[in-house]
Every structure is written in C-alpha cells, then in structure tokens.
Chains A and B, each alone.
Chain A
C-alpha cells in the first residue's frame, strides 16, 4: 500500500497528494447522477478515457473497495481511513471510480460467508471492474415474501440443474454473473431449503427480458433459467442454508438503498440544487418543504454515519438497518417530489431543461419497494428490534 497509515494527518496528506496526481480533472465534476456511474463488466463501454484511467489507477491501489483486505483487491482501510478517503474525494468533488452490486452486496456476503478460495477467485475481478454482478432474488410469487422462491436446483451429482424465473433483476441484461436464491430442498420449511448460488449469465439456458417501467427506462429484467447447469463449488455457505447469506446481504442492500452505499454528498445543500435548477424558493410552502427535506437529509446522513461507526466498533447493526432503509427511501421520494415542484412545468417534459429529473422522480417510487418495502421494514423493526408480539 502506498499510504502511511501510522497517523491520520499524514495519511490524509498522502491521500490528498495521491488524488492530486491521479484523479483526472474530468472526474472532479461532482456528478452523482445515474448516467455518470462506472459499473464495469465485460461489456462495459467507458464514457471517456478519464473514466477508464480513473478506474484503473484506483483498482491498482485497492481504492475501488478501500475497506476490503488487500489480499482480495482492496486497500485494507479501517473505518477512520475510509472516512478520510471519502472526505478527500468529496473535497475535490471526485466521482467514485466504480460502483456495482458486486461491491455493495455480493462482496460483503462473500467476505463473511465465502471460502478463502472463493474470495480469491471472485473478489479481485469485482474490485477491478471486470465482472459485473446482478441479484437473482425476487420471483413473480416471491416479492415481500422472499423466502417463498420457487426457482429450483436439482442435485445432479457434480452440479445443480436450475430451472425457474426471477423478476426485477436489476441490469440482468448487462451483467456477467448472477447470485441467486435457488430452492435445493423442496420438502424443507421454506427458509431451510434455499441455497445461494453463483453462475455465469452466459451459461446455457439463461435468458433475460427487460421490463419497461413507468419512467420509460428498463433497468429491471425478467430472468429465465432453463436447465442451467451450476457446478457444485459455486455455492456460498452451506447447502440449504442460503437464507442466512440472503439476509446478511439484504442488510447491506438496505444500507445501499438508504443512501449509505457511498455516504457522500451530504454536505451539498438542497438550496444549491434548487438554485441550480433555476428556482428561487420564494413560495412559502416550497421554501419550508426544502428546509424540512434538508433537515431530514442531514439527520438521516448522520444516522448512516453513526451506524457505520457502530459497525466498525464491532457492534453489529443487524435488523436496525431496516430503519436506514425505511428513513432513507421515504426521504428520497419526498425530495424528488420537491424537485418536481421546484422544476414546475419544465420538469414535466421528458427532455426538458431538468434533464433526467422526471425519470429519476419516477425511479424513486421503487425505492420504498425494492429490497423490502417500507411496510416490511416497519414490521422487521417492530418484531425484531422492539420485540412486539407475533
């Protein structure tokens, strides 16, 4: 590792110097919109040379996944070092070099449940942006009741023969590999017969069909498995104990959806966002709603930070992450309603001056559904955190 971690001041100075040398100016534009994200993967087309250069130099130094162990392609940063890294990125308005479901979801699950060989095999390509993962969780009959998945894997000795259908698979048509919940024991109680399998989307028998959404975009797909052969070593954790992995991963997914995936940009003022959109906030109700949203955003952002501090201190957050998901997504919906109001009639046009705002606004409506609905989150809190009966 090129950085001196013996004291925080020196570490910060070195990070700052490293960024000055290595972060292309084009990547210091503060762009956090969906269109600017580098997702990586076999089929990825870089939007610019700068984007490619930024990914490569970060990956080489473990900085796409700074808290992962160096052995698996990370930088081995602790929580304080990660905070310094992120605050220095924020200081220069730098984009994140890479974002993906591999980083947010599969990586943490593999680090916890994977064998050493699996970590060595799967994690480094994630950190280098070489393999893009998608999540095979929901099915037509298994939404909020996720443990009812019916996609099945039949034991064929050295492999499982997988058949079934997933739905709401984000970017399945662009992903290289999938992590999927597959029923490997149909006679066991529903939580006890699921395995967590990994397989290549290019495997014979895998097909995808994009679903057109109310925003006009198709970020989600239906994914079909038709006699897909999955080798036996491509299981994470124990056979039929995949629900443990699935639940663990969900807590990370919920943090990500709550806005905690990157924890960045919280210092930006909604006032500035709205002023940039040409709105003067002279209307009393808009102004007070903007201030109220700003207060919520700061408060929820601090809560994400506090929970991360708690997790870094060895005290798990566990089911309380449902709260982050609930608070973060409800806030995001509220904010986008505000943006739409501030944008007025301009924001009603798909190709107006507010850019992707109408599509983004519609996209946020899924936030409180995906990864567990707000109501499921409240039920988790009431039963598992508060201990309310049945």
Chain B
C-alpha cells in the first residue's frame, strides 16, 4: 500500500543529505557564487556525483543508484532548504528520466553513465514564449537529406549557459503534437547562447539555432513522438522542482521562526505577539499540507507513472502557492532587514519566483488539474 511517510532508506538519505549540505553548501555558499557571478560550483557537483545523487534516477547498469523519484524529490527538497545552485533538476532528474526511456539505445546508455559519474550536464531547451507551453513549440527541424536542420529561438533554458548538452524540443510537423526531441552538444555550429541576467542569479540562457545540423542518431526516441519521452521527464522535473520549493519554504520558515524567537520590540520577543504567532502557524500548516502532495507525487511516479500527471500538477501547483507565501511572510515578519541584500531572505524570495515560473506556474498546473478532473 502506498505510504506517504518516509521509509528507512529515505530517512537515511535525508539525514545524510542534510548533514552534507549544511557543511558543504549552506546559504553563504550561494552568496559567494552570486557575488562571483557563477552559476554553480563544479566541485560540489562532483561531490554530489560521488554521493550517488547525480545517478539517483540512473539505472544500476549505467552506474546509477536508481532510488526512484521519491528519493530524487527528497534530495531536491534538501537542496532547496539551503538554496543549492546546481544542474541537478535539469541533468539528474529531467535528462536522466528522458534518456532512460530509451536506455536500450547505446548512446543514451553512455550519456546516462556520464550523468551518473558527474561528467556530463544537460539543459532542456523547451520554451519559446514567456509562459511554459511545450506544445506551442515553433523551432523548426527541417528534414535535410538524411538529417535535420534546426532553426529558431529558445528562452528560459535553465542551466543552458553551462550545460554540456541540450535536449531540444523542435517541430517536425504541423499537427500540435508533431514534435521531436534532439540530443545535441551545446556548442554545435549554429548555436548561439546568450546568458539571461536572472533575478535568482542562476544559469538561464536564450539560445538561438541557425541551421543547426542534427542526424537521425541525435533524435531521442521517435520522430514526431517527443512527448512520449518528454512527458515523463517533465513530470519528474516538475515534481522535483515542487520538492525544491517546499524545501525552500521550510528554509525560509526556519529563519523566520528563529527571528521571532530572538528579536525584541516593545521590550518583549516579537514571537510573543499573537498576530505573528498565528501567521507563523498558518504558514507552517501550509507547508505541511504541501509536503503531503510532494510525498504523493513521488510515490505515484514510482508506483504508477502512467497515472501520475494529476499528482505532479497538484504538487507543483501547491508548492508554487506555498513558496510564495513562505517568502512573503519571511520578509514581512523580518521587517526592514528582510529587504536588505546583506540578509539571505531575498535570495529565497527571488529563487521562489523563478521556480514558480519554471516548468509551469500555479495557473498552468491548475489548468492541467482542471482538464484531468473534467472542468
């Protein structure tokens, strides 16, 4: 029976992840990266690979630990707590999930092995407009000889500036679903990457494709059938991102409760004021409720992936609302100091905003839920 609490392995994973990240990547490390203008720390990524995290969704045959989506979500949640900036969701969650759909292909198997070893990073080039809408893809993959020529623009390609390879969603026919997924190196001729100066200081790129050549071998899965490979990857990414946002919410909340317990005004701790106590208690309740949807999404993806769409959209929709509340309350309850760059709360707020938008915001996922439930 589905159980929404952590099993023994998962509890150990969370404990070790928390211990490691508190030591190796507390929020100060994110500040250092931001100040240095860097997207992520390759040494930390290597350590995460050594711990098996980059292979959390890679089959054991390719050197992964293959612990499943619930475990991947727990790792993302812990990374969210201390604002770890890394290509974990793009590479270890989404690319790994897409590639393992076609793991019998030797090239995909090799890529999975390199993801697990920490030697290869990916970004997914999906969106072209300001809102997440993979089905509206216009980037063309024209058939030329035995191969394809890709032309068009992608935006908000998260980790796209630093990734070694790209999974590019391209149109290969007029029907809405006639899309094909290509796996190509990010430095192939005709690709121009322009860094986007993101509010969360993380890596995102606008990428233009001008007659970029691709072969049949570069196609992931089947031509015109991108979504059969991409949908599981999107769901995996959405669930992991929802988990990251829940961790982020807990991180912001933890700072806020600590502040209520130490800040004095009117001669007393401000945590004694019922107005603030009730705001904090409401926020805690909200995080608890969202945590349940994350647990459910992980279990559904591991146990019944075909039916997981509702669970994943529920988790992402709820996580968007919770993260928004957590960072707004975080700033409000900290007062003026929460508005300063010297204080960490702003990092949480800016990351929450980007994470809300990436892979579909509340409105996008509420609409998915409405469709599934027949509104």
Contacts and interface: CB of A to CB of B under 8 A. Distances in A.
Interface in B243-292: 257, 260-261, 269, 271-272, 274, 277-278, 280-282, 284-285, 288-292
A382 B370 CA distance: 35
A213 interface: no
Contacts of A26: none
B288 A305 contact: no
Nearest to A269: B373
A300 interface: yes
A298 B293 contact: yes
A271 B373 contact: yes
Interface string A313-346: 1010000100100110000000000000000000
A53 B81 CA distance: 55
A: contact size bracket: 35 or more
Interface in B313-336: 314, 317-318
A306 B292 contact: yes
Interface stretch (A134-142, A166-174, A286-294, A349-357): A286-294
Contacts of A302: 4, 289, 292-293, 295-296
A306 B4 contact: yes
B281 A295 contact: no
B33 interface: no
Contacts of B281: 377-379, 381-382, 385-386
Contacts of B289: 299-300, 302-303, 323, 327
A390 interface: yes
A295 B317 contact: yes
Contacts of B366: 288, 291-292, 295
Contacts of A309: 3-5
A240 B164 CA distance: 71
A288 B362 CA distance: 11
Interface string A365-390: 00000000001011101110111111
A262 B239 CA distance: 28
A272 B318 CA distance: 22
Contact of A389 (B271, B290, B295): B271
A146 interface: no
B: contact size bracket: 35 or more
A385 B284 contact: yes
B69 to A, nearest CB: 16
A388 B272 contact: yes
Contacts of A327: 285, 289
Given A389-B272, A390-B272, A269 B374 contact: yes
Contacts of B257: 386, 388
Given A271-B375, A378-B277, A299 B5 contact: no
Nearest to A375: B278
A80 B2 CA distance: 9
Nearest to B273: A388
A294 B285 contact: no
Given A302-B296, A305-B4, A291 B369 contact: yes
B369 A306 contact: no
A299 B290 contact: yes
A69 interface: no
B296 A388 contact: no
B1 interface: yes
A313 B5 contact: yes
Contact of B288 (A291, A292, A298, A320): A320
A378 B374 contact: no
B260 A305 contact: no
A292 B370 CA distance: 10
Given A306-B4, A320-B288, A378 B293 contact: no
A303 B374 contact: no
Interface in B119-146: none
A7 to B, nearest CB: 12
A382 B288 contact: no
Contacts, number: 110
Nearest to B274: A379
Given A294-B369, A326-B285, A379 B314 contact: no
B277 A382 contact: yes
A290 B272 CA distance: 37
Given A269-B373, A271-B375, A382 B272 contact: no
Contacts of A80: 1
Given A378-B277, A388-B272, A306 B284 contact: no
Contacts of B318: 295, 299
B1 A287 contact: no
A84 B3 CA distance: 12
Contacts of A83: 1
Interface in B59-105: none
Given A299-B289, A303-B292, A306-B5, A379 B375 contact: no
A79 B257 CA distance: 34
A32 interface: no
A310 interface: yes
Interface string B1-29: 10111000000000000000000000000
A292 B285 CA distance: 17
Interface string A266-302: 0001111000000001000001101110110011101
Contact of A295 (B3, B5, B314): B314
Nearest to A313: B5
Contact of B370 (A291, A298, A386): A291
Nearest to B374: A271
Nearest to A300: B289
Contact of B292 (A8, A281, A305): A305
A381 B1 contact: no
Nearest to B310: A298
B288 A303 contact: yes
A299 B374 CA distance: 18
B36 to A, nearest CB: 36
Given A288-B366, A291-B370, A378 B282 contact: yes
Given A306-B4, A388-B261, A290 B285 contact: no
Nearest to A83: B1
A298 B372 CA distance: 13
Contacts of B288: 303, 320, 323
Interface in B331-375: 366, 369-370, 373-375
A306 B3 CA distance: 7
Given A84-B1, A295-B317, A388-B271, 12 more contacts: A8-B1, A281-B375, A291-B366, A294-B369, A298-B314, A303-B289, A315-B5, A320-B288, A379-B281, A386-B277, A387-B261, A388-B277
18 contacts: A272-B374, A287-B370, A288-B366, A291-B375, A295-B318, A298-B293, A303-B288, A306-B292, A377-B281, A378-B278, A378-B282, A379-B277, A381-B281, A381-B285, A386-B281, A389-B269, A389-B271, A390-B272
5 residue pairs, one from A and one from B, having the closest CB atoms: A382-B277, A381-B281, A306-B4, A378-B281, A302-B292
